[in-house]
A and B are shown apart, each in its own frame.
Chain A
């Protein structure tokens, strides 16, 4: 079935009234992932934009049509390890156990429990929507924030301009945990995204599956809400966010991107990058080129 038919026929699992910003990448990722996962799913959404947008419920009400729990910012993978273990024990191995967490809950304070759950091979699908910062609380920097970004904790000052460090590349670190399935995806490449959510759900029945998704944020990053998919597409094209997957140890580059655009082209018109110096752009370009070469070698190219 074509991915368009998959999405057309699957029911939306989000209840009306979710309050994400216009053009939110995270909301798109949540809705599409849950459409594919379907009703036989339990999801964990730790504090962050999606939790803040109300899908984890309010007072007595649920924000989703499936069971949801908001774990702590730093224990999603551990809490859902325990839940998954109970579902294995109860013989209900077909139930999808899914975590959808931002980059803060994934790459920063939740990283330890994520790494441990991946190492233990817990049977769950962990999806990180990476908007490169703590957007729900006003865009503080995280370890996945791109160098030079303007955030509320790395402001454009007269001495220091934006984040001084390069981003941490979480998906490759998780891939090195001998996990069942690990991949990157972007809402700009929906066929690829749908296929990877499907593969991830299937892989989560045998072990740990991880999906790292580019999640453009108009509010925090400073671009018009209707430009999100375009920003995501440019990130893929500039190798800022390469698309690859690792299926039981087999590493594959999904898009060799033979005609990449430059980082200078990627950052154009995005507010958080407006104070980037030529040196910053060159440094990001060098990091991106080096990383893409490494990914190509991993894929045997």
Chain B
């Protein structure tokens, strides 16, 4: 059994990263992520964590330093948000296409403009096609558990893709929750050190060119391999969830979590911290006799299309609530992808996109309840309804 503690999401991420015994951490402060690296620096400077801590001058260098260390055979960690993620995009894309495993926490934040430092998922969502695995967490416990699971998934030979553990800035990063912090012995037993031959390492004893100039036909094979590994990761995610449940007694259901969906007619699809509010709304609506369930999108890369299609099969109506937007469509990105997942099913749903919680705005229980009522009222009218904005007066 671990230790009962009360931690913010950021401290949870830092403690979990430390439990995974990283060789090197490089990071640059940015709101709302800063206390992740502050806490890691504290652990290193107090001798509680034996890791190289590199205080870089930008997120671009943070990702570059960990990339170099990973190419030298190290297990590495960093964390960022919003503008920092945008600045590191160049080495970020390269990390996944070099197929170097690592875990990076993202305390998600709205993208500027207008100037903002508050919550939103536009940052992580905007880089969902940069080749990383991305998981979104609902609770601080889930942050801890997914950082630990993240290394196991990333370093699996069938995968070899870095993992983003995303959680809502401020709502999760700065608010405390009671958590169960695994002990070092428990984590050591679950997550062995990375094998020295996990991936090719830059070494004079084995001279090779890492990432030489590569012609298109070969590059396309690399991309195809990457996509196939991403698809294989869906099985690995389930395996690791089961293995984790056996070791720690906590399971999250793999790539998605289904909540009271079995007999539901209508379904809310959520992502990240809003899922807690959504589950409360489902419970309240159920008491009124509405047969409603909830699907929490956990992993969005790889996108669990088959599981979503299966979970929505036989339902009458659904709404996907996004904390980000999809420019070019007047809809949310996870709604677009959920629709794509249903393209080959025969079902005729009533469905629509809802967008809320941008720039730190709350997604309230009332907005969830109103959305459930709207779904219930329209569930027998198949087709797409207008996008619902959770605007505040």
- Which A residues are within 8 Å of any B CB, using their own CB? 39-42, 51, 54, 56-72, 74-75, 78-90, 95, 112-113, 115-116, 119-120
Contact = CB atoms under 8 A, between A and B. Distances in A.
Nearest to B69: A82
Contacts, number: 154
B30 interface: no
A83 B209 contact: no
A86 B74 contact: yes
Interface stretch (B57-65, B168-176, B355-363): B57-65
A39 B203 CA distance: 10
A233 B55 CA distance: 41
B218 interface: yes
Contact of A67 (B52, B57, B66, B204): B204
B40 interface: no
A63 B209 CA distance: 7
Which 6 A/B pairs are nearest by Cβ-Cβ distance? Answer: A57-B212, A82-B68, A57-B209, A86-B72, A78-B64, A116-B57
A89 B52 contact: yes
Interface of B: 23-24, 26, 52, 54-58, 60-61, 64-74, 76, 90-91, 94, 202-204, 206-215, 218
A87 B61 contact: no
Contacts of A120: 54-55
Given A82-B24, A82-B64, A82-B72, A74 B210 contact: no
Contact of B212 (A56, A88, A95): A56
Given A82-B24, A83-B71, A85-B52, A69 B211 contact: yes
A14 to B, nearest CB: 12
A40 B207 CA distance: 10
A273 B191 CA distance: 63
7 contacts: A69-B71, A75-B60, A78-B68, A82-B65, A82-B69, A88-B52, A116-B58
Contacts of A95: 204
A83 B69 contact: yes
Contact of B204 (A42, A58, A71, A75): A42
A85 B54 contact: yes
A204 B244 CA distance: 44
A51 B91 CA distance: 18
